[in-house]
Amino acid sequence: MTHSSIVGSVASELLKRIPGWISKKLLAENVPLIASLHDIGKINPIFQEKIYRALNNNEPQGIYGSSDDSINGFHQSVSYVTLLNRGRKDIAEIAGRHHGQMGDIRSCDEDSGIYGGSSWNRVRLSAIDYLKTEFGAACPEIKNTDYLLKDVLSGLTTVSDWIGSGDSFNYGKEGVDISAVLDKAGFIVPEINKNLSFKDIFGFEPNGIQKNFIDSIEGRGVYVLEAPMGTGKTEAALYAAYKLLNSEENATGIYFALPTQLTSNKIYGRFNSFLNSEAGGILCKKSRSGPVLVHSSAWMTDTDMGGEAAPGSSWFNNRKRGVLAPFAVGTIDQALMSVINVRHNFVRTFGLLGKVIILDEIHTYDSYTGTIIEQFIKNAAELQCTVIILSATLTDAHRYKLLGIPKSVNKAANEYPMISFVDKKSRLKEKSILLSGRNRVGLCLSDDDSAVMEEVLKRSVDKEQILWVENTVEEAQNVYRVLSARAGAIGGIDCGLLHSRFIKCDREIKENIWTEAFGKNYGPREEKGRILIGTQILEQSLDIDADFLVSRLCPADMLFQRAGRLWRHRINDKKRPESAERQMVVLSPGFAMLKEHISKLGKTKNVYSPYVLCRTMEVLRSCDHFDIPQDIKPLLNSVYCEKSEQGIMSKYKSELEYKKSKLINFAKNNIYSTNSIPDDEERAGTRYSDINTLNVLLFKKIRLSKNDEATVTFLDGSEVTVNKLAKKSESKKTALKLLQNSVSVPDYLVPEGEKINWLDRYIYTGDDKHRVVSVAVVRSDGSINSKGYGYNIGYYKDLGFCAEKI
């Protein structure tokens, strides 16, 4: 009962931090009472027996002789059944899923013996009456159709429970400053520096695209900004968000959502300066009581959100908790999990309430994720959010889908750059922007990898900075092996590799080195030639600049994104080597060969639709250049327009249409599905793949001692000592260190794994059905024991995680 009272009080304080313009529209009355009722199901004999066992080491004279809470479907199920029989299905559902999902309902009879019979139920009913008296209210009515309201209330209840379970309340709530506890949990109410200009914040005047977009912001809504790569879309979106934060009743915070963890890493610094810089950050100093932006280790160690967000639990993870903070950078997946069938989806719904949500690189998603995004945008509008969508390469059809506009509208074909939004009266508004000048990119198609490698080496000797983009990690590793060996033999050339299968600490170092080398600072560029080989991560949200670009064939929209890395910083063109040309080489068989022998593309054919690849090559084969921005929209619409096909192209088209239909239906089934148990969050399907991935923790060695202590040596030689008596602050640092030494790999490549008894005290290792973390020891030669899986696997500083089929 003490805990129930604490959680109700925490919910009451949380409500004070939600602006009235949101709570009036979205929140029911008497929310603190709803939150306080979540645990009444603990009043049952099996759960109480757990307490007896915890208090002494003697076997209790228990009713069932077992403290296994699952026997009665777990205490949240007892809460559900008790409230359901009070005629409150809505409140029962909120209480029943406060641990992320509903437990098994063993009986709908609240007097059932499995719940302790009528005598125990009378005590539960007395507890309800007691809490009604304490919070002075009756339960509100919630329509069963109002699922978003139930999600918001479920999220608020669950977060209140997490915070109310924290160490601050070990001895009850007397004398506890609940407001300070919420500050410590990260739920600060930021104060905004008012009336800052664009130049005040960023140090320069807005360009034409930025000014036009900022002027288009009329209040909450859905906005789309299509503009060429390198034109400052990020700053335009951030200032638009500031404009909404600066006005009344328009925004509560910002969530900046990107396609991958790497791109969110790189945007972090720019976003942090936008918030906190001494020169022009938007936050008042007095609102910076702690780390504000979620993406740093400081935020993870300095905030405390209770047991569920402690080391070893599912939500000790900045990628998840970011949606709850006022300002965060993260992947789009965490936002999309608010609308799919996954544990704690409603916590994310609550966290996004009223925010400006910036969706960057929106063109990169398939039909499955695209369908989820469309539903998410609809929900966000109902949650009083503003959604800002950024892309350099949208087709008109895709843009209209995102805006929720019928297909029949086709007003603005080929106009680019473009600003689009739907006003408060549901009217579509479109505004094209006239840009002077054009940037010409030379285009060369080649089917000879060896010849292109020779050209790359020749240019790198002339001190050019070169990007080579592959479509799979394995192919990028293979190219790196060849080019790094050749570059090493020549001397004076740096060669690097960047992809998703490096452990996090190695990847962060490599990201910093290579984004600096290919960044705006031209000092290091003039020292030597450089070749950076990578995967799709090089095309997304990275402010990098290449003199020459090589790309394996990919869909046209992604090719344009890659081309956006060429001569990105035009102000420094005079400093480029004399040999430098703004040229892109696309590696692919010719169109005739490609459509008849798609296998010649290697693993690329498994990554992208053969039909889209062939259509892309069909359009590009007649080009020896294209102009940015003038040619982007016409070429895109040429690739993706409807076209009747014959022969092998008809077959490829049918395969694509079938897969699209399948993915859309699969996505719709996964959106708010009630037909199955929610997925574990670590394996949630925001991206469609036939292959699951797992995190693998990589160690050099582990030394165990008799007193349940262990010393872990990481690949870089650093060590950490773990023990069960460590202070919470030390446990957090250890957990972060472990996470930094993990890599995500396909499950068919995951090693058998070492059994580490203490691991789940620091890292969330999965639920009863799914393991989400494995542990492997890397030998001195880099190899890892794969135990006969058909692959030789290993981890190497320059290559990352490697797998060679035996």
Q: Do residue 372 and residue 297 come from a single domain?
A: yes
Q: How many domains does the chain have?
A: 4
Q: What is the predicted pLDDT for the residue at 291?
A: 47
Q: What is the predicted pLDDT for the residue at 331?
A: 80
Q: Do residue 169 and residue 259 come from a single domain?
A: no
Q: Do residue 166 and residue 214 come from a single domain?
A: no
Of the candidates 379, 404, 432, which is a domain's last residue? 432
| Mean pLDDT value across residues 302-313 | 64
Secondary structure of residue 681 in the 3-state scheme: helix
Peptide bond into 629 cis (omega under 30): yes
Q: Is residue 161 very low, low, confident or very high in pLDDT (cuts 50, 70, 90)?
A: very high
β-strands 439-446, 493-498: how paired?
unpaired
User: Looking at the domain assignment, is residue 650 inside a domain?
Assistant: no
Q: Is residue 772 very low, low, confident or very high in pLDDT (cuts 50, 70, 90)?
A: confident
The phi, psi pair for 294, rounded to 5°, reads -80, 110
**Contact at 8 Å (CB) between 718 and 365?**
no
Element (H, E) at 801: strand 800-805
Q: What is the predicted pLDDT for the residue at 468?
A: 97
Q: Is residue 139 very low, low, confident or very high in pLDDT (cuts 50, 70, 90)?
A: confident
Average pLDDT, the chain: 83
| Mean pLDDT value across residues 264-271 | 74
Q: Do residue 325 and residue 470 come from a single domain?
A: no
d(CA 691, CA 750): 12
Q: What is the predicted pLDDT for the residue at 443?
A: 94
Q: Do residue 718 and residue 782 come from a single domain?
A: yes
User: Looking at the domain assignment, is residue 197 inside a domain?
Assistant: no
Share above pLDDT 70 across residues of the chain, in percent, rounded to a whole number: 84
Domain extent, residue 103, equals 2-185
Which residues pair with residue 254 across a beta bridge? 327, 356
> In 322-366, where does DSSP find H-type helix?
332-336, 345-352
pLDDT digits (tens, 9 = 90+) for 623-647: 999 988 888 888 988 898 888 989 9
Q: What is the predicted pLDDT for the residue at 455?
A: 96
Q: Do residue 507 and residue 607 come from a single domain?
A: yes
Q: Which two tokens stand for residue 245?
A: 């934060």
Q: Which of 271-275, 368-372, 750-754 has the lowest mean pLDDT?
A: 750-754
d(CA 549, CA 547): 7
Q: Do residue 163 and residue 284 come from a single domain?
A: no
| Mean pLDDT value across residues 447-459 | 95
pLDDT digits (tens, 9 = 90+) for 503-546: 988 988 898 888 888 887 666 777 889 999 999 888 875 678 89
Q: Which of 174-188, 194-208, 662-676, 693-707 has the lowest mean pLDDT?
A: 662-676
CATH number at residue 296: 3.40.50.300
d(CA 760, CA 775): 12
Closest listed residue to residue 525, CA positions, set 580, 594, 487, 598: 580
Q: Is residue 7 very low, low, confident or very high in pLDDT (cuts 50, 70, 90)?
A: very high
Of the candidates 399, 432, 465, which is a domain's last residue? 432
pLDDT digits (tens, 9 = 90+) for 484-506: 999 999 988 999 999 989 998 89
Q: Do residue 494 and residue 593 come from a single domain?
A: yes
Q: Do residue 470 and residue 345 come from a single domain?
A: no
| Mean pLDDT value across residues 573-591 | 86
Q: Do residue 459 and residue 607 come from a single domain?
A: yes
Answer with the residue of higher pLDDT: 357 or 183.
357
Q: Do residue 161 and residue 223 come from a single domain?
A: no
User: Looking at the domain assignment, is residue 654 inside a domain?
Assistant: no
Q: Is residue 241 very low, low, confident or very high in pLDDT (cuts 50, 70, 90)?
A: very high
Model pTM? Answer: 0.87
Q: Do residue 585 and residue 620 come from a single domain?
A: yes
Answer with the residue of higher pLDDT: 330 or 761.
330
CATH number at residue 118: 1.10.3210.30
Q: Cβ atoms within 10 A of the Cβ of 319, count?
A: 17
Closest listed residue to residue 531, CA positions, set 554, 498, 571: 498
| Mean pLDDT value across residues 69-74 | 75
Of the candidates 151, 185, 219, which is a domain's last residue? 185
> CB under 8 Å to 546, separation ≥6 — which residues?
465, 466, 467, 518, 532, 565, 566, 567, 568
Q: Cβ atoms within 10 A of the Cβ of 343, count?
A: 20
d(CA 672, CA 666): 12
In the chain, the largest separation of any two C-alpha atoms, in whole Å, equals 89
